[in-house]
Amino acid sequence: MKAGEVLKRAKAPKEVFDFYREQGRLEEEITLPSDEEINEIASLFKCLANPVRLKLLLLLSKPHCVCMLSYLTGLDITLISHHLAKLKMCGLVKVKSKARIRIYKTDTRKIKHLITVLTSLLK
What is the overall mean pLDDT for the chain? 93
pLDDT at 7 over 90: yes
pLDDT of residue 50: 96
Q: Which tops the pLDDT comparison, 98 or 70?
A: 70
pLDDT at 123 over 80: no
pLDDT at 118 over 90: no
pLDDT of residue 120: 86
Angle, vertex CA 17, rays to CA 13 and CA 23, nearest 5: 145
Domain ranges of the chain: 1-31, 35-120
Q: Could you give the CA distance from residue 79 to residue 71 in angstroms, rounded to a whole number?
A: 12
pLDDT tens digit sequence for 21-40 = 999 999 999 988 889 989 98
pTM (two decimals) = 0.78
Fold of 35-120: Arc Repressor Mutant, subunit A (1.10.10)
pLDDT at 106 over 90: yes
